[in-house]
Amino acid sequence: MKPSSIAVCEHCDAVHRRVHLAPRARAHCIRCGTVLYTERRRHLDGWLALTIASAIAYLVANLNPIVEIQLRGESTQASLFQALSATWYSGAEPVAALAALCAFVFPLVRIGLETVVLAYLQLGRRPPALRAAMHTLVHIRPWSMVEVFMLGVVVALVKLGGETTVIPGPGLAGFAVLTVLLTILASFDPDTLWENAERATP
């Protein structure tokens, strides 16, 4: 029996075989009545909505300036891409590459894969190349570190603020929203995708 096909009661440790439930139905422990699990398919709606919102926040974050710096009457705007290329050409190529992967590439792959897999499951279809997609997702999730990037930007802005006029741009708001959304998304269990895919038609 696969681990996903049994349910253990949190309260009294009674072991149950999982059964398919109607939407929004709950399974209760036969011994003590504690809720064991709910039909998780309904969570996919909210999950998909959050990934689509993340994709929009990602675009806002990356297509707009993060910051505008005013110094002696001159003003400069910088987006994440401009900041990364400036870091690269200043000779810190490894730093630029690592930042690009963790703040740019990995979140993009993660949001894209989750959106596609969830959209298929929402339609009751089994996503193509599901195994490869899930494998990539599990490995990429810990490396998508928008929150670390966000913290770095805030520290840099506070330091710069002493010497120059720093105006946060729309890109920074995009990253703030993206950080919150990705943190919520991290609470969703990838096993739920497998369970739904097993029931979906190929």
* Ramachandran angles phi, psi of 170, nearest 5°: -60, -30
- Residue 194 Cα distances to 7, 51, 88, 131, 186, angstroms: 16, 17, 40, 9, 16
* 12 near Zn ion, judged by CB under 5 A: yes
- CA atoms of 188 and 118, how far apart (whole Å): 12
Choose which of 28, 31, 125, 135 interacts with Zn ion (CB under 5 A): 31
Please report how close the Cβ of residue 7 comes to Zn ion at its closest, in angstroms. 10
Please report how close the Cβ of residue 36 comes to Zn ion at its closest, in angstroms. 8
Choose which of 6, 8, 11, 42 interacts with Zn ion (CB under 5 A): 11
Tokens of 153: 């930007």
* 36 near Zn ion, judged by CB under 5 A: no
* Helices assigned H by DSSP within the chain: 41-63, 80-89, 93-100, 106-122, 130-140, 146-161, 170-185, 190-199
Please report how close the Cβ of residue 18 comes to Zn ion at its closest, in angstroms. 15
Task: Tell me whether residue 10 or residue 198 sits nearer to Zn ion (CB atom).
Answer: 10
* 14 near Zn ion, judged by CB under 5 A: yes
| Total interface residues for Zn ion by CB under 5 A | 8
Degrees, nearest 5: CA angle 44-184-152:
145
> Given the rule CB under 5 A, which of 11-19, 117-125, 143-151, 155-163 is the region that contacts Zn ion?
11-19
* 9 near Zn ion, judged by CB under 5 A: yes
CB 30 within 8 A of CB 48: no
Give me the residues that bind Zn ion (CB under 5 A), please: 9, 11-12, 14, 29, 31-32, 34
